[in-house]
Structure 1
């Protein structure tokens, strides 16, 4: 059997259950004098996959654990399916969690691992095994039910953990860094599997990761957290193309933060001058004339090693890296050190080469609203 097989999309009882919303209303969590989550409010709609994204210590995992009931809120209210669960224990909430470590029982078979939850709840062994087999077939592990976890690949173990979380058909499914133990290629395959499963079964999912690419790939919406608060909420495209502040611009993907000047505006469009020579038109995002900071994505910058044209910003290539599908450059320029990605150039530009700099697309450039 392949290490990763395709997920079967046959409908199961889990697909018939009504998905539930999750709502935080001014939720705070304190540990002594330390505030881990500070007055956070958000809603996850039924059937939506929302990722909590941020650096270590930002409060995302604590937030997930409060949804699960593994941590109790110090202030505020938590609702699941419009039911107030703020003071309910984990056992009294209709949620399941897939942990970073998978937490499989090594002395149990795959089938016994998945059937454990129903068995503990008093469901007869025969029925618990039948429920477990349904979920194993759903996620493409039929035929491996007698194996021990140690006999499975990392991707298969992750699937067993998902099956065990799904077997009780929870209203909400929680993922805590579920792909961190997998290699890069397997991470991509398994995240696609998780997304396909979530959509086919209409599951409400809260997903925690620190990996920006992973968040962009799987999410309906992303909640970016910083210093125990929400920095910005939006779709992957909104966060990438319209960051709310410097932190989000720098954290979501790679961005060159450069200085510009809005010289005039017309309606919702700003005429922005960069480096004193280049003018581009950008959505003004509520910002008026004057100095401004711009988030410029690496593939929005074009390099030309021909003689610099009048009005172009000039620079020098300091480092060039070949990555197969793309070239990556570090460029020294009057507007700062730039990180540039080019996908279609046949001949790499050698380090030390003078280049002229232009901006290939306005979609990869955004004005950062002033604080």
Structure 2
């Protein structure tokens, strides 16, 4: 890429459609050369935020800057960004190279130069040799790469992805997300990426912006969001969690003694004071055994089990409430109705700030 990557900054940006607020007073910065994912459930405002970066929607309030320049009132055509859509939007009657060369041609470049630029980007995305195929002759993963090459050919300051993997099967999805991440790092691109798939977000992102009800719930690295969720929504949305009621019985500096039913655990307090607290317990912080593990286990009954190849998932009724447990050991399958013990590990259990 000949251009330096640019930052993207939102300052108190809101977008309203009549009485509906789709994006509500949102502020963030995407640093140059990083991949930041906008993550959240359907209707949370993430796609509208992406379209505001692209200039496909205009902000009702606030400022949008790209590379430090105010683009708030600029149209999509006047912003140096390219977008890869969920549908890929390839022209079916054009070959791969014609699809990729379309942008430079429309911008008035000579046909030979446009094809030269297109061939270069087709090679970058690993499709050299397929230039003359039509989109219908390509697999879903190859079509996705053509869409990426078409977005890259204009060498934008910022590249935008809107749910780019949703049309692919699970195996291909993993491969293509690795390709997108490798490309972003190799070319030092600034990327804003929208998905509702938390595993995808954890896998590709430098940082994640979790959105809920048109606002930002939390921003951080994948690890920060998983290990230190800011609230119940983030804990539950990122990586699944059992949300349990506990009592912080004793403050010990920045740690505390927490009682969870008959179990006592020493955990980071995260600002919580003595009294009732909510705990996020990751499914893999729990282990199913047939023998009691001293103080750190409770009795339970298997309600449901699912064999998923790489792991076993269980729904267990217990004195603490219903527990969701993931067993990556794939030991013996416990049948519904079995009486078991659920052991608690201290890693993977987080006190949620009050």
- Give the TM-score normalised by the residue count of structure 2: 0.98
Establish whether residue 344 from structure 1 lines up as the match of residue 333 from structure 2: no
Contact 2:296 2:344 in 1 (8 A): no
Alignment root-mean-square deviation, CA: 1.1
Q: Where does 1:50-61 land on structure 2 (aligned, <5 Å)?
A: 50-61=36-47
Give 1:320 deviation, angstroms: 1.7
Structure 1 stretches of 4+ with a deviation exceeding 6 A read none
Contact 2:292 2:298 in 1 (8 A): no
Q: C-alpha distance in 1, partners of 2:17/2:64?
A: 18
Q: C-alpha distance in 2, partners of 1:306/1:92?
A: 66
Q: Which runs of 5+ in 2 are unaligned?
A: none
Partner of 2:266: 281
Q: C-alpha distance in 2, partners of 1:119/1:182?
A: 30
Establish whether residue 269 from structure 1 lines up as the match of residue 251 from structure 2: no
Partner of 1:37: 23
Q: C-alpha distance in 2, partners of 1:47/1:266?
A: 41
* CA distances 1:239-282 after superposition (whole Å, capped 9, x unpaired): 1111111111111111100111111111111111111x211111
Partner of 1:126: 112
SS in 2 for 1:224: strand
Establish whether residue 106 from structure 1 lines up as the match of residue 70 from structure 2: no
Partner of 2:50: 64
Give 1:345 deviation, angstroms: 4.5
SS in 1 for 2:201: helix
Contact 2:246 2:260 in 1 (8 A): yes
Q: Where does 1:1-371 land on structure 2 (aligned, <5 Å)?
A: 14=1, 16-275=2-261, 277-306=262-291, 309=294, 312-360=297-345, 362-370=346-354
Contact 1:25 1:42 in 2 (8 A): yes
SS in 2 for 1:161: helix
Partner of 1:5: none
* CA distances 1:13-48 after superposition (whole Å, capped 9, x unpaired): x1x421100000000000011110000000000001
Q: Which runs of 5+ in 1 are unaligned?
A: 1-13
SS in 2 for 1:181: coil
Give 1:306 deviation, angstroms: 2.5
Aligned pairs, number: 354
- Give the TM-score normalised by the residue count of structure 1: 0.94
